Chain A
Amino acid sequence: MITIDNLKAFGANVEAGVARCMNNEGFYLKLVQKILADTSFDRLKSEVEEEKYSEAFETAHALKGVTGNLELTPVFDMVCQITEILRGGFDPADKEELTSLVDGVTVKMNELRAMN
């Protein structure tokens, strides 16, 4: 069960997230639930694997928006970094960092799913 408390423990800035949801905790939690099912995370992973970097940028950008709005800080921070790496074309030198970040996102999301 995703709760306010275990989200806090996860590292989410729950206070900000709930405030953004008009102080409606139930509404906030409902939305967090929804993001667990979001296929964009998998898509990001496969797009990076397939070296489709411009698509990956857009996916990452979209994820940045939603994870930011939900204040899922651990995931958000990594998605931000991914977005910056992918912005304006891809430098092969960054490949390692990118993959590591994408893996990191997967790990964190699985953590969240495990809580549910």
Chain B
Amino acid sequence: MDNFGKSSRFKRKVLIVDDEMINREILGNILETNYDVCSCENGKQALEILSESRVHFSLILLDLIMPEMDGFELLEIMQKNENLSSIPVIVMTSEKTAEVKSIKLGASDFITKPYDLPEVILARCERIIGLYEKNSIIRSAEKDELTGLYTKEFFFEYIRQFERFDCTKSMDAIVINIEHFHTVNEMYGREVGDEVLRRTAEVLTQRFEDVDFIGCRTDADSFYLYVTHLDNFEDLPDELSNAFGQNPDFPQVRYRMGIYQDVNKDVPAEDSFDHAKIACDKIRGDYTKHIFCYSQEMSDKEVYHERLIRDIESSIRNKDFIVFYQPKYGIQGERPCLQSAEALVRWKHPELGMISPGEFIPLFEKNGLIQKLDRYVWEEAAEQIRKWREKYGVTIPVSVNVSRVDVYNPEFKNILDDILSEAEITSRELMLEITESAYSEDAEGLIRLIDNLRDKGFKIEMDDFGTGYSSLNMITTIPIDVLKMDMKFIRNMHKDEKSLKLVELIVDIAKFLKVPVVAEGVEEESQVNTLKKMGCDLIQGYYFSRPVPPEEFEVLIEKELNSQS
């Protein structure tokens, strides 16, 4: 026993039930050594004590033959009662036949009469209490109190156990998520939210009670189910939604499910549920689909992404990432002139070939590897600025992309400083393009950071302006130096009056902010002309050049220098 029980303030309580006074006395005398002892004469009294008492009994010593209510009857009652069934019972008997019956009724151990030596009795009591308490702690940790399903950790543990006993069964991994659960809590209150969770668990448990089923609740509103394979779970989301009937006090609850069928037993269960979760997430926000099965295609994609993640380090080392440059031309003069460039990364994978940024950038943004990549691009761009200055005597500013993860990295400023000094360039030469998603969190912190950077001489370009939800809000609060109009506006500008006007408005906004505006994705001369008339300052697009490697960019530099002279 841990020392917890031996100190007098925390003595555990034991109940002795025996109709013979002498037995109660002797046993009580022994047990008082370690416990607070309570005794009574029969099952009926014992039940009264147990039912009314706010005192918790750690152990019951129970005689079998008693008037009014014998030991067997009490055991039966206790077994059926949720609270009482967790209290261990040591039965006192000298009859072998009684032992079997007692065990079946839930007894934990026996003490014969005449009683064993006191030390033996005390040791047995201690052992039983210890076992039950440990079990009870595990049991309380293993279940989610609200729903009665397992907690996540125990869920996977139970799956492992289940598989140990029979790993040949075909099983499905299902992830169920309640759509917009936080809204339910907000609009209907936590209690209703809790009730929704409870009933969900209830419906699931009932639905799967005849098959092998292990379930848990994870996060606030997700359920993981490990269940006997079924070809078709189509009706389950609706069955769950309908559990709330037409009750007006309950919201309409919608569920979405991801299923990974016939799980591969050679991988950890956690992986199987990752697959099911991917499938479940895939249909988030899709109001037409409530179920989605994890497919081989998704599996292949996952494998592919894993590969990309694995290879980023070596590709950075081996310079498989190549920085291309796309020129920006000023158009307000007599003829367009090369003013600056944007650095864009390309991945020439040794085995997989050219991988599009659309493929790897979102992936790396999700897991933070983007920081490594961005840093590499900044270093290359800075170095390139220096090379061109040395070669041509001119400084061509290059703007580099800064992702949300970079912005909130406390080391960000230091990294930039290092890069500048290493390449021997100034902050005026390396421009920072920050896209709108960076602005979404901690606006104050961002403003501070940007002010800081601008103090150091960096120019901030707001990328993809107009595409997000808060562009307008942002530009009033965050200081920027250049506005980059998203290519979507340019693409559509000659479609209709409205689209054209929109472009004009954006150019006006830039003028109002007194910052130059860059139009991205310009492909046609007509667009250039219109933009020039509107007062747009810079153009970046295929009309002038697609993004090119440094050697090809130098051709453009030379052309520019020649036309200047």
Contact = CB atoms under 8 A, between A and B. Distances in A.
Contacts of B23: 65-66, 69
B118 A20 contact: yes
B22 A66 contact: yes
A45 interface: no
B26 A69 contact: yes
Contact of B113 (A35, A64, A71): A64
A68 B113 contact: yes
B135 interface: no
A108 interface: no
Interface string B1-35: 00000000000000000011111011001100100
B94 interface: yes
Given A64-B94, A68-B114, A71-B114, A21 B29 contact: yes
Contacts of B65: 58, 61-62
A21 B26 contact: yes
Contacts of A62: 19-20, 65
A32 B29 CA distance: 15
B117 interface: yes
A21 B117 CA distance: 9
Contact of B115 (A31, A58, A61, A69): A69
B29 A27 contact: yes
Nearest to B22: A66
A55 B65 CA distance: 12
A31 B20 CA distance: 12
Nearest to A38: B22
Contact of A65 (B25, B113, B117): B113
B114 A69 contact: yes
B118 A70 contact: no
A20 B20 contact: no
Nearest to B121: A20
A34 to B, nearest CB: 6
B113 A19 contact: no
Contacts of B26: 20-21, 31, 69
Interface residues of B, number: 17
B20 A66 contact: yes
A22 interface: yes
A34 B114 contact: no
Nearest to A58: B65
Nearest to A35: B22
B115 A24 contact: no
A20 B19 contact: no
Contacts of A58: 65
Most A C-beta atoms less than 10 A away, residue of B19, B25, B117: B25
Contacts of B25: 31, 34
B21 A65 contact: no
Interface residues of A, number: 20
A103 to B, nearest CB: 23
A64 B30 CA distance: 20
Interface in B129-152: none
B453 to A, nearest CB: 81
Interface in A18-66: 19-22, 24, 27, 31, 34-35, 38, 58, 61-62, 64-66
A64 B65 CA distance: 12
B94 A65 contact: yes
A101 B175 CA distance: 74
Most B C-beta atoms less than 10 A away, residue of A22, A64, A65: A65
Nearest to A70: B22
B114 A22 contact: no
A91 to B, nearest CB: 19
A42 to B, nearest CB: 16
B21 A20 contact: no
A34 B397 CA distance: 107
Most A C-beta atoms less than 10 A away, residue of B22, B30, B94, B113: B22
Given A19-B118, A20-B114, A20-B117, A69 B22 contact: yes
Contacts of A21: 26, 29
Most A C-beta atoms less than 10 A away, residue of B25, B26, B94, B117: B26
Interface string B91-119: 00010000000000000000001110110
Contacts of B20: 62, 65-66
B83 to A, nearest CB: 30
Contacts of A71: 114
Contacts of B113: 64-65, 68-69
B518 to A, nearest CB: 94
Contacts of A69: 22-23, 26, 113-115
A114 B117 CA distance: 30
A22 B22 contact: no
Nearest to B26: A69
Nearest to B67: A58
A31 B22 CA distance: 7
Interface of A: 19-22, 24, 27, 31, 34-35, 38, 58, 61-62, 64-66, 68-71
9 contacts: A19-B117, A19-B118, A20-B118, A22-B33, A31-B25, A38-B22, A61-B65, A62-B65, A64-B113
Given A34-B22, A65-B20, 7 more contacts: A20-B115, A22-B118, A31-B22, A31-B25, A34-B21, A66-B20, A69-B114
